[in-house]
């Protein structure tokens, strides 16, 4: 992509995602994703009804009057985006390919994070960790992330979700909120790594899929290609049995994914490329609040 075109696209995504995170997600992101706990704020004189367990005995002894410690929510979070950059994300049968929608969702979450004074980092992964951007704050950092999302060229086109989860567990020692954004076309199981990761971090799975993955249209002979292996073949979409088998496979796969997320205590949402991802994210946020 030419530098000028890339900058225009970065700016366009910034304007849209900043507007969404400011106007639509205001308050919902904050309440959906909590801070690390309670942090010490100040000491004040004891008042009737205060918990005696909060008494600061050192200050009480020094002043001769009872004082208590005041705590407040430690709001600052570290947010990580685990972004699938494998070949299957290049597929699209509508106006946008899956990769475009993943980029917009990621940018919107990133701006929501920094507006709540959270740090944001990224892991780009295929069947390996392609790139790690350590968490930081600020608009300049977000724009760099968006630039990378638009222009990054992965070395591999295959998918292995487990490698991203393993990396997150080893790279971040303190608890973070991690958004795993993928179409989840993974040939290798990642349940064990998901369970380990969700025990340490707050993991949210966001699945982005094309409508054709759910329902195969009757358009006759169609040439298809596996974007990860680049294997090509023809299928006859006028065959009712084929279309039924395709729909059944999708339903079984979705049920399996949903069951995996539940067993791992991971909140999840599935978003089609022709749907309004804003509504889906807001619904997810409200469920977590």
206: its two tokens: 């966001």
**What domains does the chain contain, in order, with CATH numbers?**
3-31+75-288 (3.40.50.410), 37-74 (no CATH)
Question: What H or E segment, with its residue span, contains residue 98?
Answer: helix 98-115
CA dist 6 and 131 (Å) reads 19
Backbone torsion region of residue 225, taken as left when φ is above 0, otherwise alpha when ψ lies between -120 and 50, otherwise beta: beta
Separation between Cα atoms, residue 207 and residue 250, nearest integer Å: 13
Closest Cα to residue 142, out of 121, 170, 127? 121
pLDDT less than 70: residues of the chain: 1-4, 6-7, 22-31, 33-41, 71-76, 91-95, 223-231, 289
> Is the distance from CB of 271 to CB of 206 less than 8 angstroms?
yes
pLDDT of residue 126: 95
Cβ atoms of residues 217 and 237 within 8 Å:
yes
Asked whether the CA dihedral 188, 189, 193, 199 is positive or negative, the reply is positive
pTM: 0.78
Residue 127 in 3-state DSSP? coil
pLDDT in tens, 174-215: 889 999 999 998 888 999 999 999 999 999 999 999 888 777
């Amino acid at each position: 992509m030419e530098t000028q075109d890339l900058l225009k696209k970065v700016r366009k995504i910034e304007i849209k995602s900043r507007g969404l995170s400011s106007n639509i997600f205001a308050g919902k992101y904050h309440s959906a994703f909590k801070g690390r706990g309670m942090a010490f704020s100040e000491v004040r004189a004891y008042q009737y009804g205060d918990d005696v367990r909060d008494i600061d005995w050192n200050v009480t002894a020094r002043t001769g009057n009872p004082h208590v410690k005041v705590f407040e929510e430690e709001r600052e979070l570290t947010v990580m985006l685990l972004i699938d950059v494998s070949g299957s994300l290049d597929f699209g049968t509508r106006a946008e390919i899956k990769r475009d929608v993943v980029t917009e969702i990621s940018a919107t979450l990133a701006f929501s994070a920094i507006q709540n004074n959270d740090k944001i980092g990224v892991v780009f992964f295929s069947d390996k960790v392609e790139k790690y951007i350590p968490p930081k704050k600020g608009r300049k950092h977000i724009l760099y992330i968006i630039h990378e999302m638009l222009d990054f060229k992965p070395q591999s086109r295959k998918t292995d979700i487990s490698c991203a989860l393993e990396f997150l567990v080893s790279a971040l020692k303190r608890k973070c909120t991690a958004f795993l954004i993928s179409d989840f076309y993974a040939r290798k199981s990642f349940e064990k790594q998901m369970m380990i990761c969700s025990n340490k971090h707050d993991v949210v799975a966001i699945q982005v899929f094309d409508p054709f993955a759910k329902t195969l249209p009757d358009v006759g002979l169609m040439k298809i290609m596996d974007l990860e292996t680049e294997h090509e073949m023809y299928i006859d979409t006028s065959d009712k049995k084929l279309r039924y088998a395709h729909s059944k496979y999708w339903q079984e796969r979705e049920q399996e994914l949903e069951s995996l997320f539940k067993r791992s205590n991971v909140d999840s949402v599935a978003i089609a490329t022709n749907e309004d991802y804003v509504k889906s994210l807001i619904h997810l946020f409200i469920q977590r609040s």
